[in-house]
Amino acid sequence: MHCIGWLTYTMAVAICISLAFNIDTNPSNINTIDQKDFFANKVLRIKSIKNTGILSTEAQQPNEELCKSNLNQTHQCLIMPDISLTNKRTPVKHFGLSIAEDSTLSLFTVCSPSVVHECYDNSYLNSVCYKMTAPLQPDSSVTPNFQDITKQTVDLVFLFDGSGSMTQEEFHKSKDFIVDIMKNLSSSSIKFAAVQFSSDYSKVFDFNDYQAGTALDKLMKEPHMMKLTNTHRALKFVLEQIFENPEAGATPNATKVLVIITDGDPSDADRHGIIKKYDEKDIIRFVIGVKDAALYRLRLFASEPKDKHVFKIENYEGLTGILEDHIKQIFKLKALVEDITTEMSQSGLSAVFHKVCSPSVAHECYDNSYLNSVCYKMTAPLQPDSSITPNFQECKKQTVDLAFLFDGSGSMTEEEFHKNKDFIVDIMKNLSSSSIKFAAVQFSSDYSKVFDFNDYQAGTALDKLMKEPHMKKLTMTHKALTFVLEQIFENPGAGATPNATKVLVIITDGDPSDADRHGIIKKYDEKDIIRFVVGVKDAALYRFRLFASEPKDKHVFKIENYDGLTGILEDLIKHISKLKDGKVALTNEMSQSGFSAVFHKDTLILGSVGSNSGRRFIQKILEEKQKQLKRNYPDMQMDYMGYFTSVGEKDSVRLYFTGAPRFGQVTLFRHNCENWIAAQRINGEQPGSHFGAELCPVDINLDGNTDFLLVGAPRFSCPKRRREGHIYIYRLTDEMLLESVLNITAPSVGRFGSAIASLADLNGDGLRDVAVGAPLEDDNSGAVYIFLGDGHSGIRSTFSQRIMGQKIKPELRFFGYTIDGDIDLGENGLPDIVVRSLGTAVVLSSRPVFKVKPHLSFQPERISTERIENLPMVTLTVCFEMVETTNRKQGSTSSGLIISYTLNVDPMKQTHRGFFSQTDEKAWNLTSTCKLSDKDTCFNHSIYMPNFVDDTVSPVSISLNFFQVDSESASAVLNMD
């Protein structure tokens, strides 16, 4: 007897992955906020015994709000009040631009990088961070580098040349220039006056005339004086009769600005020290030199910095060309003298661990505006717990003791010796309104104290300097240095201030005649005395450098002759000016710590954008010690390093990752037992792609070690393929270095990679999954892509689900620009995802995932070939074993799976030997839809065979294909693996 065997095989087919996996796209929780603008608002989930919900920050609202919403659509919002710094109330802007939670999800920190204040029509930016509790109560705050400035009235006077060196046409072009400036600034708080000068002076119109509306008429009628150029005399008249004369309409506390327009050198001398008086009264002077006017003379009239206050043009036609620049300069009004490096640093733009930071808190320090940060630590009820002020630049004004040590040897002429004196006088006059005290010593074979700090303060210094005779002998430089140190800098009897910053300016034209037998240079280094050296004529440059401070290039000036002293005057004054409020250039005044932030265990790490002359900081703030450790990386000249900060850990070794998207670099920091070092830097492959704008460390197998780092480059462009955005996946090796394993290009245009979030395990395979936002996709409605985890490459190369904002709610905009997804808000054991769009926070719940294993059995298992009739020859039993792979809590309900399955008899043969209908031999396949609700579900089907079967040797094959029906709306999902 022959028997036909049965061969069965099955294939499980899930629906198209672009439609859905297990994230429910029909959310029951959509939190809408009336939002006026879009600027990196943040969303975060919180959980505590009494509070479970999501936090949403409105960083661009008129009232800076932090809102908490629970699953019952109950909202609680906290509007942050103004903060008090330096006894002034300062508004907090962009509150919540970064937000971070701790590992318990009950404390968090909120930051704002935008505490904005106005200063003479300019806006300055600072930071603040709040430590919060879940009831939305600020517990404490941090306010680094706060600054506050008020807007003032400006009194501006035009002092224009009417001498005989200009034609009538040129005279009228001067008038036209004045008219143009007044018209362009007519809506500002500036009041104008004008004075013509020649041998005498003529008040054209004053502030009262301008306010009365008669100024232009008087200006047009003003005749051309056509005589000499007595500039200093006219300056004295303007000061006394215009700026300081209430009857001319002058405002006592107004900012005073003078614009001088001239084409000739002064015919008179400054006998009354009028320039010094303008400096003392802090009157800002712009000078426009036309035609043959000597530039170096014009600079004497201008304010510091000279380069920004002096304009030189070939003829009066050029007035039109400088008009725009000049108007801009007037708008800015006061330029800072100091080399400020961190006043505008915005800490707290992003944050991790429940700390709320603002990188935009400003405070005022001696006419300088410092921009810094404040962070608030909060608990889950949104109650501020404490605050910190990272990178705060304390406002200290220090005295500077500056000594001139000038060469009086026989190698110079009498005229050159007097040029030395003139150079010293010019420096003292330019810095007369500062906190610098001056002394001077001449040296040759011996030394001579010309005047000390007491003489300078008594006002007798200049007279003593002018009377000092030329010594005309050797050049005993080291001997003189010893005298200056012991008898000037360290001698209270000479008026020295013990804690002052000490500066020495050496002016010499010859090599030293003596040796450094007592190690005097080393003593100057040990005492941190700053030394500038001006070498003239044939003096050897390498010898000068031995006397100068580090860095040598900034402290040594070499000129061919003593006439060159005038040329280096401005540069030297600038260098000295940088020192008058401290020994070194300020590093944190503009530092906005908290621009990004992340919590790791008990430590808050803040990214500080704007610290230290464009270099960035990573700051560690230890909660237990309430101590701030700052790590500076001077070799890293990157734009926006600290824009995004992230933390990892491998084998109990802590790692920090920072992104500098404008530069296109990601840096891995590792601790070497003493300091944090930049262990690795990775550059993006495409300039302008914003590589490093988003960083996401992933512990793929939940063992406590960081396995992968995902890096976003949302502006990576593929114009030919119409795609925008890229994410890079790096494996963290055992050597603690990042190794590239996978790159994923955006499916379309939409800033793919703007947000990357590590999610809890969605499908129950024991691996973390990842969500990637593309907020500009689908004409700015936005989309979120779900990628399942992979132990070898971090994530799978193809997304498992695409969630479109327009499908959730048609009016959503920028859906996916912020994502958070590592908490069970529904408390059913299944993770939820919070996605932010413009004005809306959407909670997307995950659904249980079931793995379905099919089984086929036959009765009888074999068919005899002796008797084949068109009868039910076999009963096929189809069973589905359903096992949940996710970890739902017991008691959580599910309506099961609805699947459709198809059976095929001999699917690979042209002649089928079985069919499912007794009357239709073509019915060799069968499709059925059923619901799986139990662990095992079985169905029976009869298979019929024709009377004649040609092939009785090979077994009959049965295939089973099945897939889930309407998985988008189902309460459970079929595992597609």
Summarised one tens digit per residue, pLDDT across range 516-529 is 888 999 999 999 99
Closest residue by Cα to residue 715 from 748, 741, 751, 747:
751
pLDDT at 347: 44
Query: Using 50, 70 and 90 to split pLDDT, how confident is the model at 676?
Result: confident
pLDDT at 754: 93
Domains 3-17+849-974 and 400-577 share a fold: no
Contacts of 777 (CB under 8 A, 6+ apart): 748, 749, 750, 751, 752, 783, 804, 816
Summarised one tens digit per residue, pLDDT across range 394-404 is 444 467 899 99
The tokens describing 906, both together, are: 């001999």
Query: Using 50, 70 and 90 to split pLDDT, how confident is the model at 478?
Result: very high
d(C-alpha 554, C-alpha 339), whole Å? 14
* pLDDT at residue 509 greater than cutoff 90: no
Summarised one tens digit per residue, pLDDT across range 900-952 is 999 998 888 888 888 898 888 888 899 999 999 889 999 999 888 877 777 77
Higher pLDDT, 657 or 74: 657
Whether the bond into 551 is cis, omega within 30 of 0: yes
Summarised one tens digit per residue, pLDDT across range 143-173 is 544 444 434 678 999 999 998 888 898 899 8
Query: What is the rounded average pLDDT of the residues 540-562?
Result: 78
Query: What is the rounded average pLDDT of the residues 749-761?
Result: 93
| CATH class, 400-577 region | alpha beta
- Cβ contact 238:205 at 8 Å: no
Summarised one tens digit per residue, pLDDT across range 185-197 is 777 778 999 999 9
- Could you tell me the CATH superfamily of domain 3-17+849-974? Integrin domains. Chain A, domain 2 (2.60.40.1460)
* pLDDT at residue 238 greater than cutoff 90: yes
Query: What is the rounded average pLDDT of the residues 374-385?
Result: 57
The torsion of the CA quartet 136, 140, 144, 147, rounded to 10 degrees, works out to: 70
* pLDDT at residue 247 greater than cutoff 90: yes
At 648, is the secondary structure helix, strand, or coil? strand
pLDDT at 250: 92
Closest residue by Cα to residue 3 from 755, 860, 627:
860
DSSP string for 913-958: S-BS-SS-TT--EEEEEEEE-SSEEEEEEEEE--S--S--SSPEEE
Beta strands 43-47 and 52-58 are antiparallel
Query: Using 50, 70 and 90 to split pLDDT, how confident is the model at 539?
Result: low
Summarised one tens digit per residue, pLDDT across range 951-971 is 777 888 888 999 888 777 788
The amino acid occupying position 498 is P
Summarised one tens digit per residue, pLDDT across range 592-610 is 444 555 655 555 666 555 4
- Element (DSSP H or E) covering residue 370: strand 368-379
Query: Using 50, 70 and 90 to split pLDDT, how confident is the model at 57?
Result: low
For residue 852, count other CB atoms closer than 10 A to its CB.
18
Domain range summary for the chain, segments of one domain joined by +:
3-17+849-974, 154-332, 400-577
Closest residue by Cα to residue 775 from 806, 742, 743:
806
Higher pLDDT, 739 or 891: 739
Q: Distances in Å between the alpha carbon of 387 and those of 13, 380, 614?
A: 55, 16, 26
* pLDDT at residue 104 greater than cutoff 90: no
Query: Using 50, 70 and 90 to split pLDDT, how confident is the model at 375?
Result: low
Residue tagged 């002649």 (tokens): 911
d(C-alpha 300, C-alpha 306), whole Å? 9
Which range is least confidently modeled, 66-70, 769-773, 804-808?
A: 66-70
- Cβ contact 590:622 at 8 Å: no
Reading phi first (left if > 0) and then psi (alpha if -120 to 50, else beta), residue 249 is in left
pLDDT at 413: 87
Percent of the chain with pLDDT over 90: 32
Higher pLDDT, 614 or 958: 958
> Does the domain spanning 154-332 belong to CATH 3.40.710.10?
no
d(C-alpha 644, C-alpha 79), whole Å? 26
* pLDDT at residue 639 greater than cutoff 50: no
- Averaged confidence pLDDT in the chain: 76
Which range is least confidently modeled, 24-28, 78-82, 948-952?
A: 78-82
d(C-alpha 404, C-alpha 304), whole Å? 21
pLDDT at 934: 87
